[in-house]
Each structure stands twice: as structure tokens, then as C-alpha cells.
Amino acid sequence: MSNTIFLLTNSRSKELSIRNSLSSDYKLHCVTKGDMMVEMYKKNPKLLIIDVDICEDNTLDIIQSILDIEYLPVIYVYSEKAKIANSIKNEILISIENLNSLLMPLIKQSTIFKIKYDNLMESYDAIDLLNGEIKSFLKKYSSSQYSAKIMYKDLLDLVFGENLFLTNKPHVVWVLSLKKEQYDSLSFQLSNNKYEEKIHIDINKKDSFKFDVYSNNGFGKNCNLDEISDISFSEKIFPKAIKDNSGLINNFSGFAIGNLILIGINYKKIVTSYDISIMKALAINIDLIETIKHQIDEIEQAFEYTTNALARAAETNDDQTGKHVKRVNSFAKRIAEELGLSKHFINKLYNSAQMHDVGKIYVDKNILLKPGKLSKEEFEEIKKHTTYGEKIIGDSEYLKMSAEVAKYHHEKYDGTGYPESRKGEDIPLSARIVFIADIYDALRSERSYKPAFSHEKAYKIITLGDGRVNPEHFDPKVLEAFKRIHEDFRIIYEDLKD
């Protein structure tokens, strides 16, 4: 903040009187109602002095509307107490005669108040910024491809690094997460308004802090303001690993919650309770995000267990082995990778592909295991496994892809499949991929009604057709991907052979 004082007056004598009352540390700058707002942003004054004698009926309202946008302490002065002075409430109002003795003490008090006010508002703004973005961070972090490291860095950049309105930022931030008897500890360093990971180490839980990390109000210290030296102080209170990797510690603030400790080190200015408040909000939100992520992971694991169990149950009713669903999973995953699909989609597909035949649980086992050709009625019953599968899986949003695969994995790109004769991209992409994976595995595997085919013969049937299977049945992009990586299919089949 500059040492500029704004003055609103048209009286030359008052201007001179006020100048004479100021110490040499301050510079007086005259403004008008019209240019006050612009000048405030340019010069960042400590104080505004207003000559009440020149105020019109609407002057105070105009000034108040400006100060509502950008707060500034105000002192009102007068030579003759005008009627308008009666409308000035809860403000400093002094006569010009008393100005010389009162002005400097008032400026000092106003400056202290303005600094505290600005710190408070910076803290509020940083916390509001954080709270406004938590939903999007939670959405990103709940996906499997968004790591904790990236989440920490992005949050630090949001709250500190890229926040141009926050003037006091830590040069180094430590994020410590307790895993059994060790703190998984990451250090981020500020450079060009971005935080970059510098150190990743384990810190033994026994090598603890010599102060109350879990204080309800957080913790903070300005070491260089203590009577003891910075070095001796930091050596007494910080774990050795942090001291060795942080250099001289001039100040710090932080907050701990659950298994998480967040510490900001070497702020640009002295650390205040407002800096601790920002750290507290950041730590609480990180802990919230990680707690929800952990709960989501547990739910996903439960769903994965359910899908695996259903897939295994379906196998008992067919002549296929457990290796079949594992191979189809792997084939589908490899196609999706070749198509350049997202990691989230690939992981979902890998778990969903095994559900393609879950509906066979409801199909008569004698039909499924019948050697030789099926009757028309028997084939119609077999076809129902697609809709049975969708019903078994249900309408859970998490199992949506599994339901799509179960229902549509016999649909063909040219519209000749079942159960709905869907065509082209009306068939979900997941089902289009599983279709070719299932066909390849069926061709390679021995069944009660056919021998096992070689990789070369299966590849030829899929790419050239044999009357029952034709290239037109497959999504062209999926088919081209298969052609590029068909040797991977050979390897997968051999690795997971019955």
C-alpha cells in the first residue's frame, strides 16, 4: 500500500493546512468525485479526507457508493459545521482547527485498520474462490485419472498461485498425508504464479512436530520476529526431513485435520490469523474431497465385485469358462486403447465387457449346452439373453455401460443384429467394441457345436466374411483398429487360454 492520502476539496487554504499537518512520509493527492474511483485503483491510498464544506446533498451518497465497491477509511473535516454534517453518522468528523493535533494519530489508526481489513477481505475472497470450485474439483478427482498430486497442485494454484488479489502467499507448501506409520509428504514450490512439485518423501510419524499441529484454530509463527534465531527455532519444532528440504524457515502457517497436515512456509509478509484461515479452509476441503473419493472408490469396488459375481454365475450355465470373460475384457480394452478413448471409458469397459452374457442365467441350460443346430424356437430363446441381461443389471447409473453391453452386444452395424436391429452409431460404442471381441473369442474357442479355429482363420472370417460373419457387421473404425492390433489378440488369447 502506498503512503498516499486522498483529499476531496476545492479550498486551497484547506489543502495547504492539511499538507502542513502531514509528516514527510505521506503524499497528499487531490481528487474529484468524478475521478476518485479510477485514482483509487491507480494509487491505492491509505485514507480519504473529505471537506464537508463543499459537499452537496448527493455528495455523501456518491462517495458511499464508491466506498461500497472499494473500502477506504474516511475522515471528514469542516471549518463551519454545515447542515450536511448532521447526516454523517459513525464516522470521524473533526474541525480544521483541531486537524494539526489529530490528523497523524488518526492516519496511523486508520492505516492499521485498513491493513487488517484488506487481510480479512483477501482471506474471505480466497476462501470464497475455493468454495466456488470445490464441486468441479470433486468431479475431476472422483475420476480414476485425476491423481491426488494433481488435485493438490491445482488447488494451490487456484487459492495462492494464480490468485492475483492475494498478496501474502507461501513460497513452499507441504502436504502430509498419514499412511499407517508414515507421512506421505509432498512439497510444492511457487514459481511464476504456479506451484510445482519439488520433493516427495516419507516422514516417520515418530519424527513429529514440537507444537500442536491439531490445534482447532490452526498454527502459525513468524520466526524472525522471535527473540531466538530462526535457525534454532525451526530446528526445535519441525521434523528433520522438512527442515532439510525447506531451508531457512522465516514463517509458517498451517492446519491439520484427520490424517492430513497442510503447511505453508516462507510467506512474503508476516503470517497472520487470516493466512491460517485460508490454510484451514484449504485443508478442510482437501480432506472432504479425499473422504468422498475414498467412499466412491469403496462403492465402485462393491459394484465391480457384483459384476464379477454375476459374470461368474452366468458361466455356470454355459459351456464357456472363466477365461472367456477375461479374454473378452482384455480384447475390448485393447480395442478401446487403440481407438484413443479416455482412460475412464477404458476402465469402465474393461469391467463391463464381462457382463455381455449375464442374461444366460435365465436361459434353459439344455438349450445353451445343446450340441448341433438349434431349432428356430430355441434360437429365439437364446436371443432373449440380451434383454434378460439388461433386466438383471438394472438401471443403476454406475452399471449403465454394463447394461448397454448386455443388451446390445449382438447388434450389427448393418442393422441385421438383435434384439432391436439397431444400426450404425445407434448401437452404443461399448457394445460395438464387445461385439468384435466376443466374435473373435467364439471363433477361437471350441464349443459343443464347433471346433476351435486358429488365429489366422478367425482373422480371415472377421475381415473377409464367411457368410455367417461379415465385415459389414462391424463398426468400420472398430474393424480397422482390430486389423491394426490383431496380433495382440493372438497374444492375449494364448496368455489366457483355457
Model confidence pLDDT, tens digit, residues 37-81: 888 888 888 888 888 887 776 777 787 787 777 778 888 888 876
pTM of the model: 0.64
Domain range annotation of the chain = 4-117, 142-292, 316-495
Residue ranges of the chain with per-residue pLDDT less than 50: 227-230
- Predicted pLDDT of residue 229: 47
Within 8 A by CB and 6+ apart from 379, the residues are none
Same CATH topology for 4-117 and 142-292: the answer is: no
pLDDT at residue number 404: 97
Per-residue pLDDT at 227: 43
CATH of 142-292, one of 3.40.718.10, 3.30.450.40, 3.90.550.10, 3.30.70.270: 3.30.450.40
Output the CA–CA distances (angstroms, integers) from residue 420 to 27, 93, 383, 412, in the order listed. 82, 83, 11, 10
Question: What's the pLDDT score for residue 228?
Answer: 45
The position carrying cell 460373419 is 469
**CATH code of the domain made up of 4-117:** 3.40.50.2300
For the segment 428-454, what is each residue's pLDDT rounded down to a tens digit? 999 999 999 999 999 999 877 788 999
Query: In the prediction, which pLDDT does 320 show?
Result: 59
- The CATH code belonging to domain 316-495 is 1.10.3210.10
